[in-house]
Amino acid sequence: MMSLVPPPSIHAAIFGLGVAAVVFGLVGMVWRSLATNRLIALSISIGTFVGILIWWFVLAIPQVQNGGFEEWGTSASQPAYWGKYEKHGDIGQLDSVGEIDTRVSRKGSASFRIVHKSPLSPGQVASISQRIVGAKKGQVYLVTFWVQSEAGAEGAVFLVTNKDWNPTSPITGGKYPWTRHDVVAYGQDGNVLELIFVAQGPARIWIDDVSIERAR
């Protein structure tokens, strides 16, 4: 399972502190150069400080990386920042394919297509996932994604947002054009949130524009 979401990781924190140090150093220079007009210097200092606070707040919002599946990972079929599409159970008997599709998209240039042909069987599933870092434990989030479905029963594909895979949020079955799906999720231990799309029954769907925001 990949974990390549930078904000607000330690690297981002170090980067932020570095930028703040540089900015305040420059402000100090301005302050000295404007010693004859302390009011102007004070205004510049306050504005800089507020700007840094806003910048840091934006960084602190958890983000889905490559939610539009337009960046390739280790191959042209697997999206960057997402884990490999994995089969679980008796993988030799599981007929399931998940890959980038550059011919179908809601917007942009790609989506992620799942074609699962094996019948529903306990433990026989395939999944793709991304770990979202910085999702405060207990905080409520809204996960939004869009689905186009060509075939599939209700719940043939579902989303889970924690490592226990419980509860599950089934994706609507049937045939339909791009449709928005919203799932309520909670930050877990370690201030992370899992996004795991799981195929367990016959389906042919496309997923695109996955995003996350704090629930209002």
Sign of CA dihedral 201, 205, 206, 210: negative
Distance (Å, whole) CA 164 – CA 147: 24
* 79's tokens: 């999206």
Nearest to 216 by CA among 173, 184, 174, 188: 184
Res 14: pLDDT: 44
Strand 192-199 relative to strand 125-133, pairing = antiparallel
Please write the tens of the pLDDT for every residue from 12-69. Answer: 444 455 555 555 556 566 556 655 565 555 555 565 555 555 544 444 578 999 999 9
**pLDDT grade for 142, boundaries at 50, 70 and 90:** very high
Distance (Å, whole) CA 28 – CA 21: 10
What DSSP element (H or E) covers 22?
helix 10-33
* 57's tokens: 């707040």
Percent of the chain's residues with pLDDT above 70: 72
Strand partners, 18: none
Ordered DSSP codes for 27-51: HHHHHHHTTT-HHHHHHHHHHHHHH
Please write the tens of the pLDDT for every residue from 178-214. Answer: 999 999 999 999 999 999 999 999 999 999 999 999 9
Residue with tokens 């540089």: 22
Ordered DSSP codes for 110-141: -EEEEEE-SPP-TT-EEEEEEEEET--BT-EE
The pTM of the full predicted model, rounded to 2 decimals, is 0.74
